[in-house]
Amino acid sequence: MSGTEAIVPQHSDLHGEQTRALSHRVSSLDEAREIGGDRLDPAVAERVEVVVDRVRERIELGVDHTIVALLGGTGSGKSSLFNAVCGLDFADVGVKRPTTSKVTACVWGTGGEALLDWLGVAVDRRIERESLLDGETEAPLRGLVLLDLPDHDSIEPAHREVVDRLLPMADLLVWVVDPQKYADDALHSGYLRHLVGHEGAMAVVLNQVDTVPEEMRDELLADVSRLVVEDGLRGVPVRAASARTGEGVPELRDRLAAVVSRKSVAAERAGAEVSDAATLLAGQVAEREPGAEQLDVSGVVDVLAEAAGLPAIADAVGAVVRGGAAHVPTFGAVQADTVELARSAWWEHVARAVPGRWQVALREAVASTERLREDADDALASVTVVARRSRVATWALGLSVVLGVVAVLAGSIAAGVNLVGLGGGEANGWALPPAVVTGAVAVLLAVGTVTTRRMLANRRSERVLHEGRAALERVAVAGLAGPAAVVLAEHRRVRELVREAAGG
Ligand SMILES: Nc1nc2c(ncn2[C@@H]2O[C@H](COP(=O)(O)OP(=O)(O)O)[C@@H](O)[C@H]2O)c(=O)[nH]1
Ligand SMILES: [Mg+2]
């Protein structure tokens, strides 16, 4: 068995489009349930799981085709019945078919190639039924794959294998017996007794009843039924037919049509179940996730910065550089209450976009108040707050004062004003140009130095503010926006999967 398992494809490989589509929807449903986890209402998750399991079981059998196999001993009339049901003359009648490669198949509709490949039906042993000429007469059998299997008494082990492979996928096994050999032990102990439990997918046809006198038919049918019951099979229908006269053939076709429609009803029901489960799941997610602007943490950064005294410190840095203050205060410890307020305001803004359990998940995912507070403190500690007066500026100002004094003295000499005993009280014209030049330089130097120092002060102040905010932003992103984005990405995935499960 293990040897054949390696080469036998999974049933899923054999299915047609309808089954694959349904299978994809079920997988989406299952994945959505799995990713959603405890963020879904447990009752909903459980219901979805039940649907997934049940529909998967159905999918195993495929929903595209209804597989019916005719089985029985040599000469019972399988091939003849096959032709009678198809209304074609395709299967070779009166020929022993000892090998499994000689399975003959008739497909109503199209597709099923993979299935027929797997069953080992040679390409020239396949025929498609249902042409335009048929009108609607063949419509009830649409999707049917009818198989004329090799004779079970021809080459037993190989045949057994075909039956075993077919069993899990076949919707109906029709055992064809004839009035001479219906009691054949090879049939009963070799096959029928092994099929207890599969009664729902079995039927027995007593073929060639045209060879049995009318008055003996009931008795014969009763005898066949008795043997079937003795095999342990209960509720398996036993019907008479004749491939030669056509008697019982319409009833057999009706039975096959019933199996086909039962299968398509089951497929439809499975599809509807998946849709219902998808609707249930859709109620567990929002129609969209909060956008980037809702995840923005600048409000939190504002509060943290204010609480730590960042703007005041930045101002103080500026003041020191300008020369108006002596020292800069240190960052204050951020209060837990303040952090908690900012944190919950942020969370509420983000979480209100998603249903309750996702809200809880978001709250659990983001950093705790304590954590945020500690991280904010650490982050601010790493911000470099250097503030000192510029020495160059101090020297430049000093120089401008000296130059100013020189200019005033030179001016007094020029004007002949006896300021400090210089110039002898007479106007000295030569001193005027140096006085004006020195005075102008002194003023320019003073104005330039003050302006430059103010500019430097602003720049330093802004830099502290910027660095501090950047550090706090990293904390807020790592503690709030980052973890929330992970939860919301999963929310998005669940939402998308639910949409796929719903069928587009
Ligand atoms: N009288 C009679 N002969 C039949 C009937 N069905 C098949 N046969 C004949 O039985 C022989 C074997 O038929 P076939 O379809 O090849 O049986 P298979 O070996 O089970 O495929 C052929 O000669 C058929 O003509 C039937 O309903 N009545
Ligand atoms: Mg045959």
The answer to whether the CB of 208 is under 6 A from ligand 1 is: yes
Residues with CB under 5 A from ligand 2 (ion): 78-79
Q: What is the pLDDT of residue 64?
A: 79
**Residue 131: is it exposed, middle or buried by C-beta count within 10 angstroms (0-12/13-18/19+)?**
exposed
Atom of ligand 1 nearest to the CA of 241: 27
What's the CA gap between 339 and 105, in Å, rounded? 75
Q: Name the residue with tokens 């998967």.
A: 56
Tell me if 103 sits within 8 A of 82, measured CB to CB: no
Question: What is the full per-residue pLDDT of the chain (504 aa) written as tens digits?
Answer: 333 333 444 455 556 677 888 999 999 999 999 999 999 999 999 999 999 998 888 777 677 788 899 998 888 999 999 999 999 898 888 776 555 457 899 998 877 777 788 777 888 989 988 665 566 788 889 889 999 987 766 555 666 676 666 766 788 999 999 999 999 988 898 889 988 888 988 999 999 999 999 999 999 999 999 999 999 999 999 999 999 999 999 999 999 999 998 887 878 888 999 999 999 999 999 999 998 889 999 999 999 999 988 888 888 888 888 777 667 778 888 888 999 999 999 999 999 999 999 999 999 999 999 999 999 999 988 887 776 777 777 888 889 899 999 988 888 888 887 666 655 567 788 888 888 899 999 899 889 888 888 888 888 889 989 999 999 999 999 999 999 999 999 999 999 999 999 985
CA angle 57, 60, 63 (to 5 degrees): 100
**Which two structure tokens, joined as six digits, stand for 453?**
């120092």
CB 350 within 8 A of CB 362: yes
DSSP-assigned beta bridge partners for residue 204: 175, 238
DSSP codes of every residue in 341-352: HHHHHHHHHHHT
> Is the Cα dihedral 487, 488, 492, 495 positive or negative?
positive
How confident is the model at residue 8, as a pLDDT? 40
* Residue 77 beta carbon below 6 angstroms from any ligand 1 atom: yes
CA–centroid distance, residue 243 to ligand 1 (Å): 7
From 79, 80, 88, 106, mutation site for ligand 1 pocket: most ligand atoms within 8 A of C-beta? 80
Q: 76 CB less than 6 Å from ligand 1?
A: yes
- Cα–Cα distance for residue pair 207/190, rounded to 1 Å: 20
Beta bridge partners of 174: 70, 203
Specify the pLDDT at position 167.
66
**239, 68 in Cβ contact below 8 A?**
no
Pick from 320, 263, 311, 247: which is nearest to 145 by CA? 263
Nearest to 468, CA basis, from 402, 369, 379: 379
Going from the Cα of 110 to the center of ligand 2, the distance in angstroms, rounded, reads 24
pLDDT of residue 139: 86
Coil/strand/helix, residue 106: strand
How far is residue 70's CA from residue 72's CA, in Å, rounded to a whole number?
7
């299915």: which residue's tokens? Answer: 15
CA terminus-to-terminus distance, the chain: 41
pLDDT at 402: 93
Q: How far is the CA of 189 from the centre of ligand 2 (A)?
A: 21
Question: What is the CA(425)–ligand 1 centre distance, in A?
Answer: 154
Which ligand has the shortest distance to the CA of 252? Answer: 1
Single pTM value for the model: 0.67
Q: How far is CA 53 from the centre of its chain?
A: 18
| Bridge partners, 70 (sequence order) | 148, 174
Structure tokens at 157: 């082990």
C-beta neighbour count of 91 within 10 angstroms:
24
DSSP string, 74-109: TTSSHHHHHHHHHTS--SPTT----SGGG-EEEEES
Contact (Cβ atoms closer than 8 angstroms) between residue 4 and residue 158: no
The CA-based angle 72-78-80, given to 5 degrees, is 160
